[in-house]
Chain A
Amino acid sequence: MSERYPNYDVLAKRWSPSWNEITRHVIERRLAVPREPVFFDKSEWETLCAVCDRIMPQPMDRPPVPLAAYVDQKITSRHLDGYRYAELPPQGEAWKRGLAALDAEAQDAHGGHFHTLDGAQQDALLHRMQQGELHGPAWGDMPCKPFFEHRVVADITHAYYGHPTAWNEIGFGGPASPRGYVRLKLDRRDPWEAVEDQPGNDAAEKNRHVV
């Protein structure tokens, strides 16, 4: 549960004028993402899940957003970005190679698969990837730094912040059509927006009625 916007749920507005038919349809499909990989094999999947947990750690008190599943789906549905950095292969190939290379780095550094390492070790490897410091042969001609920024972080964080759970967490108003917003000024909110928890304002109760 979000601490800042307790009890706020974008999905509670599903049948309000803030959501239209196509939005309901789209979000329903999003929530129904297949949980099992189609593109990645077992070992790639294990690595990917572990990477997702570090890039976007999620609280235990609510169902996690299945980030790895969304990464898989982006590739299988051929949802492209509109550009490819010359130094990176197309997204599917980049992920496969990068995950394998990361796992190889883990073996090299700690003698075990990436997904078996503890959090600190995993973070350390990811930091090194971010700095461009991983050069194992498994990377081939793909530099690890742009892979980290343009694939790992981009795909995982986009999957997270494209999900209603994340919208609740940040108090985002969510879908808004046909109903948009009336009160546009600083420190003004419409009744269908999230209430931010402030001392004494009973946000948890108010958010139950935000619809």
Chain B
Amino acid sequence: MRMGEKSVATGQSALAGFGLAAMAAARIACGLRGVARARRGALLVPDAKTTVLAAKRLNTAAGVLAASVLTDSAVEHYRGGFHNKAMITPLVTASLSLAVSIHGNADDEPVAHEVRDAVYFLSGLTGLIGTGFHIYNVGKRTGGFSWQNLFYAAPMGAPAALTLSGMTGFLAERVREARPGTAPTIAGLLAGRLVGLLTSLGLFGTVAEAGLLHFRGSFQHKAMYIPVTVPPVTAALLAAAAIGPRKRNLFWARTWLRLTAIIGVAGAGFHTRGVARQMGGWRNWTQNLLSGPPIPAPPSFTGLALAGLAALGLLEDLAE
């Protein structure tokens, strides 16, 4: 049953590789418009257009995460010399995840797509296996789980971004296929709550990863404190929104999520400046892109923030 009129947000920007900033900005704008439209009454019954819009937001989030993982793992695994053949896997999987996310973002059908589902599932799995590999890599080095290996061996939290991409995308499909007249649920839980909670956990995890590496960098620049101070608040607010009563005011959660999305982009800017600041600057890029701060890493905050905003949208638009 189709309910009400909803114009699909104009910000249906094409997801093209590194158009992360444009994408994020556009999606935030979409979110704004979608929410404004949704606040028409106390009880809203979802229609197909609303669910598809929510799904598309999640596809976008999944895509941003995938793009971040693709670039980051490409650089880092290149640095590792692809010495284990399996190191090519996340590049392949993240590429597929990015591709299907673009596809999903352009798809108006309120049905889950088999291929997208499969790729997202594969992404989730690859991320888990990658985490296993990374933990093994840290543990087997001399010193085991020492600060040295936490700093310089395979980052244990990094593959999780791929799992988060897969999970977000998987949730996108579940939301998309939710029957009109019902609230999308996954495994019996309200989709908005589940997405919100998982995203919140994802944020905490990314905070830990950024915190560890910024600790390694001795917080030599004040801005390095931002990813360990702002996103934890965001994650807490999002978790509270996900768990709490539906009618609560989500203004603060939304604001901090937008801020976090911007931080992801700003972080990439800071890291770019950081690469330039290394010895030899851009002229020495063959060293500095590898040994300087990773430019593709901060946008994973943006991806998670987008997923969080999508979760808020689900919580607001779709009734219990």
Q: Which residues of A contact B (CB under 8 A)?
A: 17, 177-183, 188, 190-192
Contact = CB atoms under 8 A, between A and B. Distances in A.
A179 B83 contact: no
Majority SS at the chain A contact face: loop
B81 A17 contact: no
B81 A179 contact: no
A29 B89 CA distance: 50
Contacts of A188: 81, 83
Contacts of A181: 287
A17 B83 CA distance: 25
B280 A179 contact: yes
Given A178-B279, A182-B291, A17 B284 contact: yes
Interface string B257-290: 0000000000000000000000110011011001
Contacts of A177: 279
A182 B287 contact: yes
B39 interface: no
Contact of A178 (B79, B81, B83, B284): B284
- Among A17, A180, A181, A190, chain B packs the most CB atoms within 10 A around the CB of A17
A188 B284 CA distance: 20
Majority SS at the chain B contact face: helix
| In the A-B complex, the 7 residue pairs with the closest CB atoms | A178-B280, A17-B284, A178-B279, A182-B290, A179-B284, A178-B284, A179-B287
A17 B280 contact: yes
B280 A182 contact: no
A36 to B, nearest CB: 40
Contacts of A179: 280, 284, 286-287
Contact of A17 (B79, B287, B290, B291): B287
Contact of A183 (B81, B279, B284): B81
Contacts of A180: 279, 287
12 contacts: A17-B280, A17-B283, A17-B287, A178-B280, A179-B280, A179-B284, A179-B286, A181-B287, A182-B287, A182-B291, A183-B81, A188-B81
A87 B136 CA distance: 60
Contacts of A182: 79, 287, 290-291
Contacts of B280: 17, 178-179
A191 B286 contact: yes
Nearest to B290: A182
A179 B290 CA distance: 12
Contacts of B284: 17, 178-179
Contacts of A183: 79, 81
Contacts of B290: 182
Given A178-B284, A190-B287, 12 more contacts: A17-B280, A17-B284, A17-B286, A177-B279, A178-B279, A179-B280, A179-B287, A180-B279, A180-B287, A181-B287, A182-B290, A183-B81
